[in-house]
Amino acid sequence: EWTNEVFSLASNLLAQNMSRDAFLEKAIYRLFSADRKRVETALEACSLPSSRNDSIPQDDFTPEVYRVFLNNLCPRPEIDNIFSEFGAKSKPYLTVDQMMDFINLKQRDPRLNEILYPPLKQEQVQVLIEKYEPNSSLAKKGQISVDGFMRYLSGEENGVVSPEKLDLNEDMSQPLSHYFINSSHNTYLTAGQLAGNSSVEMYRQVLLSGCRCVELDCWKGRTAEEEPVITHGFTMTTEISFKEVIEAIAECAFKTSPFPILLSFENHVDSPKQQAKMAEYCRLIFGDALLMEPLEKYPLESGVPLPSPMDLMYKILVKNKKKSHKSSEGSGKKKLSEQASNTYSDSSSVFEPSSPGAVSELRQPSENIFKLLGRQCNGTAGSEAMATEEMSNLVNYIQPVKFESFEISKSKFSLENPSAQCSI
């Protein structure tokens, strides 16, 4: 029963905004050796056994004792400063009027409508004092001690998110760009991104845990079958099959949530043939779940907002570079074959992640490792291959956009004139 409550707390968005006191009722602590002296001191302050081999009877460790223990373990000196600032400099309590000033001037959001959310009155503050002040004689006089003040700050009236805002947590009708999206970076890795193992199973795990955006770092396969692979470029991480990853995503995409899945492609596959395979696997394995065309209600036009998560339920969206149809801009863009030739010509044996030469170079105690690590630190997204027609056809609402500055982002993607395409 206790375990079920803990898991419920961990997965419940509403519960994650509970008050501090509510969290303390279900708190889990892992105490390290470095904390031992501090814990022993806090236990002694509660008149509890503090030696290493001692045990504490459960009946002695009441919620009230636990509160005292926690206050000694994690003191809050800033609360004493606030308490003094509002009138308790020469006396050990705040009056009703002083407490009312604190609540209305400091705790209350000044942006709230005063008719819908009026400031508290004296009688309402008195109710709070009687609720949180442990000394009944002080409470009857309309006075609250620093202990009662601390209890009030930890109570349900001071949750992280205002209770009225919690009603909006399931509003999934806003444009997709209005949400924080639960995302996974380097989804395929089971360990470090320099020499860790890659695993198809990681895609199943993150999707089943609620993730809605996963990353696929795609590279050209070097086997005779010419099957694209997923790995972390310019490192010693292992490779996994692109097709198997797509199958795992299709298997687990909507078991936890019906809301859309975003596939964030970092596409380094410089082979048109293998890019065509990638597009074909997506179409065949995802089937109708793959969003191939913009929704009729949300065309790709300037000023038209993105569809909402509700509109995109049970859909899979691809984020990949899209082939430009402008041929006469004079931008000097190269064809895919030319880019592949320049990118991987003489240095392919050193820089290709699937090349044995790359591993041998990394193992040499020479300056080559620093060159390789330098490229790794700068990231590989900037060296993506140009998208072929097949991959471009899978892209609609989402494209990768390089972040330059907040000013430029604001000018291009303002709320007043939202772009039809979302950048992630």
Q: Which of the residues are catalytic? A: 185, 232
For the CA atoms of 18, 23, 26, 32, what is the dihedral angle to 10 degrees? Answer: 140
Residues 233 and 222: their CA atoms lie apart, in Å, by: 14
Backbone CA torsion sign across 133, 138, 140, 142: negative
Residues 36 and 32: their CA atoms lie apart, in Å, by: 7
Residues 95 and 141: their CA atoms lie apart, in Å, by: 8
Tell me the helix, strand and coil percentages in the chain, rounded to 5. Answer: 45, 10, 50
Nearest in space to 260 (alpha carbons), one of 231, 298, 227: 298
For residue 52, CA distances in Å to 5, 56, 61, 168, 340 come to 30, 11, 17, 48, 64
With contact defined as beta carbons under 8 Å apart, do 193 and 232 qualify?
yes
Residues 149 and 417: their CA atoms lie apart, in Å, by: 47
Rg (CA), the chain: 29
Chain centroid to CA 176: 16
